[in-house]
Amino acid sequence: MQRSNPVPAAPAEAGSPPLSAGNPSHLTAGGGPAAWLGILTHPLFLRLASIVTVMAAWEYAGRVPISPAFPTFLETMGALGGLIADGTLIEAFWITLQPLVIGLLASVTIGVAFGVTMGLNRLAEWLVSPIFIIAQSAPLAALIPILTFAYGIGLTSKVMTVCIMAMPVIVLNSLNAVRHTPVSLLEMGRSFLGSRRQIIWKVILPAAAPVIFAGLRLGCAAGFIGVILAELLITPTGIGDIITYNQSIAEYPKMYAAIFSIIVFSVLFIEALERLEVTMFRPEKRAAR
């Protein structure tokens, strides 16, 4: 049989990448459709698009207007700039952050400790978990007058309000995180003759960290709600004072500016908490970013 020699391929030009299925650069070079699709579907672009959409809808709703008490987005930003310039907003944040920080530190420390303990001990779970289950499902805002009657209108009642709003979510998420540690990881720790303490610190807690941090984010968000409720219902101070006062004199742009500022601060705080989780406990997500 006569064997035909294969025709040699033409040499590639110097500096040009080979055109293959694994190298689609010839499809995306020059900003083609695939490149634009990658930009439009990027998470950062989608977040920015969502923010711009909300701002545009806010501006349109204010110009219609849907209510005389609803300012436009530009009016609100102008009022926000004025509150920052005269120092009113900074002073209000300083007052608001005091009960918030104390309450969140207490809620995170005690809540995670309670949740992990209940996850490791069935007796502790049976004794304590019903309290937090009831607290999570109850309308806790109705307890604020009771706290005011018991602790007065000072810092203590506001800290307690933050705690009762934030702690149940943190406790129950920590409990579920520890309780649902994969059995395969526990068996692996025992097969390597790990002690009880080693299994808790090196197997259970790292496996439970993502769900615990999810509970921390939800609890901190509830804590922000709690501190504003306390300032509105107990005694007008801080951000709550700006909201209440400007509502009473019909300065609605300043009222919405104060609300907008605390929402932005809360979002940034929760985002920073998520970044901390990724940095400390989620190396696979850190690599993906």
The domain that contains 227 carries what CATH number?
Answer: 1.10.3720.10
What is the average pLDDT across 246-255?
90
Q: In the predicted model, is pLDDT for residue 282 greater than 80?
A: no
What is the average pLDDT across 31-56?
80
Q: Are residues 119 and 262 in the same domain?
A: yes
Q: Are residues 272 and 156 in the same domain?
A: yes
pLDDT of 82: 92
224 Cβ partners below 8 Å, 6+ apart? 100, 262, 265, 266, 269
Domain that holds residue 167: 82-288
The confidence band for 27, taking pLDDT boundaries of 50, 70 and 90, is very low
Q: Are residues 160 and 127 in the same domain?
A: yes
20 DSSP β-pair partners: 23
pLDDT of 287: 42
Task: Answer yes or no: is 169 within a domain.
Answer: yes
Q: Are residues 146 and 28 in the same domain?
A: no
Q: In the predicted model, is pLDDT for residue 29 greater than 90?
A: no
Helices (H), 86-193: 88-120, 122-137, 144-151, 155-179, 183-191
Q: Which amino acid is present at 241? A: D
The confidence band for 24, taking pLDDT boundaries of 50, 70 and 90, is very low
pLDDT of 187: 82
Q: Are residues 269 and 184 in the same domain?
A: yes
pTM for this entry: 0.75
Task: Give per-residue pLDDT as tens, 91-121.
Answer: 999 999 999 999 999 999 999 999 999 888 8
Is the Cβ–Cβ distance between 227 and 161 less than 8 Å? Answer: yes
pLDDT of 285: 53
Residue 156, CA distances (Å) to 133, 139, 151, 159, 227 in order? 24, 20, 6, 5, 12
Q: Are residues 59 and 140 in the same domain?
A: no
Q: Are residues 57 and 91 in the same domain?
A: no
